[in-house]
Amino acid sequence: MRVQLPTPGFSFELLATHGHARAGILHTPRGDILTPAFMPVGTLGTVKAMTADELRADPLDARIILGNTYHLYLRPGLEVITAAGGLHRFAAWDRPILTDSGGFQVFSLAAINKVDDDGVTFRSHIDGSKHRLTPEVSMHIQAVLGSDIAMCFDQCPPGDAPADVQEVALARTTAWAARCRVAPRAEGQALFGIIQGGVDLERRARHAAAITALDFDGHALGGLAVGEDIADTYRVLDAIAHTLPAERPRYLMGVGTPDNLARGIAAGIDMFDCVMPTRNARNGYLFTSAGRVNIPNAKYRTDLGPVDPECPCTTCRTYSRAYLRHLYVAKEILYSRLATLHNLTFYARHVRRIRDQILADGKVA
């Protein structure tokens, strides 16, 4: 079943289902994204420690990466991105890019001066300079970046925010989504709406109904992995994800561990992003088929085996745990490159393995 999405050139093809889990293809003008998909995070126009060629190469084969509206707006700035001809040319990346709206970063990183129904006035975490971000400004920045998928500007409250704060955030996010929907976009740029509501299921369902009624190309669950208990995350996922329109891609923002991804897929999610594989790599934590490896541990000092014997990445085929530990302890830059390549490959293969299982065992859509 292949359905044309509202933005020309984009369509979503559902191939098989297994319970609520889905395997499909998000067709875009810059290439197909096999779903479920994990999207490496390239906050500043780069997936930390990786080149574009490494991201594209097998067995990682990243079909889409993320860029961050807030960070790229502040540095290098829109003038530089415009002169470069957009983020794809600037970063030498010819496959799809999704940009977030900047909302999460404004609320989590910046020194906020004022939040009102029109937008947010904030000070940069870099130099303290004052800026104003509204739905229209967010959409303008994303249009200059030229991402393939833009995200609506939203208000993301903390996971433990009280009900009255959640309700205000819901009302603003809905109003801002409607404004993003009619704001000018880059040619051929799809737009996803974001569903908030914290861990209250009634509030989540109510907001899902409001956002899906606006006819976006896809829908995202935001406001999870922001301090709530993982049991609450799963409760929201299990109740809401499968109720979102089946003919549109479903995106879980900022989550999470390999187990979190598996649970999200089982709930009906198609797309994921998280800094965990890259950040954990730099901090010495490597994901493997036998569990997590803490590479600074002294027991790996003379361990000449690969990080993961089941992994076909260059790191595992070429280098030992002892060598990686040596690089980490010596603070050699090569460590971050090799460790990041491995962790991203592990995530990509983890999600593809689940996709293959859905295709093999599920029902044809």
Model confidence at 109: pLDDT above 80: no
Give the DSSP H/E element, type plus range, for residue 160. Answer: none
What is the rounded distance in angstroms from the CA atom of residue 114 to the CA atom of residue 126?
18
* Rounded CA separation 207/204 (Å): 5
What are the distances in angstroms from CA 220 to CA 62, 227, 264, 328?
20, 18, 12, 36
Domains of the chain in sequence order: 36-274 (3.20.20.105), 279-365 (no CATH)
Which of the two residues, 136 and 107, has the higher pLDDT score? 136
Residue 14 has pLDDT above 80, yes or no: yes
What is the model's pTM? 0.97
| CA-closest candidate to residue 82, choices 148, 143, 151 | 143
Q: Of 340 and 109, which is predicted with more confidence?
A: 340
What does the pLDDT look like over 16-52, one tens digit per residue?
A: 999 999 999 999 999 999 999 999 999 999 999 999 9
Q: Within its chain, how far is the Cα of 4 from the centroid? A: 23
Distance CA 120, CA 301 (A): 50
pLDDT surpasses 80 at 336: yes
- Distance from C-alpha of 98 to C-alpha of 60, rounded to nearest angstrom: 18
pLDDT of residue 103: 84
Alpha carbons 99 and 149: distance in angstroms, whole number: 6
Active site amino acids: 100, 273
118-152 confidence digits (pLDDT tens): 999 988 989 999 999 999 999 999 999 999 999 99
Within 8 A by CB and 6+ apart from 60, the residues are: 54, 313, 341, 344, 345, 348
Q: Is the pLDDT of residue 159 over 80?
A: no
pLDDT at 249: 98
CB 343 within 8 A of CB 280: yes
Instruction: Report pLDDT digits (tens) over 226-249.
Output: 889 999 999 999 999 999 999 999
Task: Give the mean pLDDT of the chain.
Answer: 96
User: Which pLDDT belongs to residue 219?
Assistant: 98
Q: Which residue has the higher pLDDT, 159 or 149?
A: 149
